[in-house]
Amino acid sequence: MKVLVVGANGKIGRILSKKLSASEKYEPTAFIRKEEQRAYFDEIGVPAIVESLEQSEEVIGNVIKDFDAVVFTAGSGGKTGYDKTLEIDLDGAIKAVHGASKHQVKRFIMVSAAHADERSYWGQSSIKPYYIAKHYADKELSQSDLDFTILRPVRLTDDEKVGKVKMLKEPGLLEREIPRAAVAETILTILEDKATYGKIIEMSRGEDNIAEAVKKVCS
């Protein structure tokens, strides 16, 4: 399976690219925005495409069209303004969804954020525009014709161990954190799992291994 990792130079994207490259089942390609980011992917043997999510839907679609699956892990990051949140987390995500749909790249996994459907939570947050962007990008994907899965992790940590997780079908009681490594491992686990198609999964640390948690949330 040829997998395009959008936002591959982010922390989840780097972990996922390395995991995909180590598997004989997948041929990952990194979608990155700067030429100087290529060195890491050369080192792990993953080809890279340098392009911007601020480009047109046509340009992004032409990048996506030759793949079997898209994993969208891109984000504007905490050091940019909310203009970039709109451009990347919302508009960039929607252009990727439309590009995949146009070119019949059916499998699409979106890394979103816990509480993206909870307007009451947004009002308590200092990053309300971020949640609004995630909400509407997710909504566009969920109304598409793609075989989508939306992962909504809580606050991310850099713990190297995957650990155990909790997954919910809808907003509920979660722990406060989850390692990025666990999100990347979940993507690897569900990539070809048809039981996860059409699912929105809220996730945090918990008491189940990933395979068990996926089975529970998809039953």
Catalytic residues: 130
The H or E element containing residue 59 is helix 57-64
Provide DSSP, 149-191. Answer: EEEEE-EEE--SS---EEEESSS----SEEEHHHHHHHHHHHT
Residue 99, classed as helix, strand or coil, is helix
Task: Name the token pair of 185.
Answer: 């491992």
**Residues 115 and 131 sit within 8 Å (Cβ to Cβ):** yes
